[in-house]
Amino acid sequence: MRRFIKRIPWPWSRTDTTYNESSPLLPKTVSKEEAEEEVGNITTEAGTNSHSSVWIQPYHSYSLMDYFLKYILFFCNLLFTVMGLMVLGLGLWGLISKESFAQEKISSIGTDPMLMLVTLGLLLTMLCLSGCVGALRENCSLLKLFSAAVLVLITAQVFVAIIAYSMHNEIGGYLRSGMLTAMARYQDDLDLRFITDEIQSNLQCCGADNYRDWEINIYYNCSAPGVLACGVPATCCVDPLENGTVWNSQCGVGAQTLDEFTAQSAIFLGGCLGGISRWIEQHEGLIGTVAFVTLGVQILAVFITTRLLESIQWHKAYM
């Protein structure tokens, strides 16, 4: 009973004002020195933690699509590099076999078709080799060079197409001039002779405008002393084969002296310029398809290279 009465908080009873340290709800009274020391410890600990913290960079790995684009770009450029080397080798072989670098022939090497093959093969090899090595070694400089070169090539092709369309009336004159030049050098240049024979035999034509254009050649001119005077090449003949086996190289002799009615049974009367125009009209769909596919492949190569460049740069930034 007495214990219970003592526990009752009477107003006149003396209360204990001292704080119990074991009570978690009561604030602890500390001195000024202890408070400053505690604040210093907290600051030091915070400073130590701030210096010891490390920012972990995210890791960016290549995706399956990145690997696919990398190797598809590599193998495509490798294929075109091999093709470029073959074209380059063919052009060099043609120049060497014809002795085009000889002193008496070096002046006309600029119009040699083999020189065009050498130039085309060299450019194709250098362009595709940069893309091939750049994709394999993940070299950003080579990939940028490759994409820039392809962009320049695309721009040049579009520019040439626009010029060709706007100057389609003048193109016939350029073709006529080129074919007459090839006919004049028919016996002197084996490449021009081969090209002329292929055009005449495949398109079944003779000369630029008609068969009388062969008078421009000094050997087929009617004033020439040889047996070929007033004649045309055998590829102008309707049937240059005798009995289907023997090639008659003299089938066009004296054809220029014949009138058109008589000559039509022996040689083709129409010129090759008209044959080329008809061939283009008949195959304009195929030509357009090839042109668009070629342009599309080049644009696709630029997009693939750009995507691969972004992936490489993003990957190197987090290495």
Instruction: Look at residue 132 and tell me if it is in a domain.
Output: yes
**Mean pLDDT confidence for 5-15:** 49
Are 244 and 298 in the same domain? no
SS3 for the chain, per residue?
A: CHHHHHHCCCCCCCCCCCCCCCCCCCCCCCCHHHHHHHHHHHHHHHHHHHHHCCCCCCCCCCCHHHHHHHHHHHHHHHHHHHHHHHHHHHHHHHHHHCCCCCCCCHHHHHHCHHHHHHHHHHHHHHHHHHHHHHHHHCCHHHHHHHHHHHHHHHHHHHHHHHHHHHCHHHHHHHHHHHHHHHHHCCCCCHHHHHHHHHHHHHHCCCCCCEHHHHHHCCCCCCCCCCCCCCCCCHHHECCCEECCCEECCCCCCCHHHCCHHHHCCCECCECHHHHHHHHHHHCHHHHHHHHHHHHHHHHHHHHHHHHHHHHHHHHHHCC
Are 312 and 277 in the same domain? no
Are 70 and 200 in the same domain? no
Kindly report which listed range (7-11, 131-135, 244-248, 296-300) carries the lowest average pLDDT score.
7-11
Instruction: Look at residue 313 and tell me if it is in a domain.
Output: yes
Are 204 and 134 in the same domain? no
Instruction: Look at residue 219 and tell me if it is in a domain.
Output: yes
Are 228 and 146 in the same domain? no
pLDDT of residue 138 exceeding 90, the answer is: no
Q: How many Cβ atoms sit within 10 Å of the Cβ of residue 45?
A: 10
pLDDT at 242: 66
Count: domains in the chain: 2
pLDDT at 27: 45
pLDDT at 252: 87
**Mean pLDDT confidence for 162-183:** 88
Are 212 and 235 in the same domain? yes
pLDDT in tens, 15-27: 444 444 443 334 4
Residue 225 half-sphere exposure toward CB, CA atoms < 13 A: 0
Are 301 and 209 in the same domain? no
Are 166 and 313 in the same domain? yes
Instruction: Look at residue 114 and tell me if it is in a domain.
Output: yes
Are 189 and 214 in the same domain? yes
pLDDT of residue 53 exceeding 50, the answer is: no
pLDDT in tens, 266-314: 899 999 999 999 998 999 899 999 999 999 999 999 999 999 998 888 8
Q: Whole domain around residue 91: which residue ranges? A: 64-171+292-317
Confidence category of residue 44, pLDDT binned at 50, 70, 90: very low
Question: Which phi and psi angles does 274 have, rounded to 5°?
Answer: -65, -35
Considering only CA atoms, which of 55, 73, 53 is closest in space to residue 65? Answer: 73
Write down how long the chain is.
319
Instruction: Look at residue 17 and tell me if it is in a domain.
Output: no
Are 121 and 259 in the same domain? no
pLDDT in tens, 200-243: 999 999 999 999 999 999 999 998 888 888 999 999 998 887 66
Instruction: Look at residue 59 and tell me if it is in a domain.
Output: no
Instruction: Look at residue 37 and tell me if it is in a domain.
Output: no
Confidence category of residue 159, pLDDT binned at 50, 70, 90: very high
pTM of structure: 0.67
Are 152 and 297 in the same domain? yes
Q: What is the mean pLDDT of the chain?
A: 80
Q: What is the CATH number of the domain that holds 227?
A: 1.10.1450.10
**Mean pLDDT confidence for 82-101:** 85
Are 222 and 187 in the same domain? yes
pLDDT at 74: 93
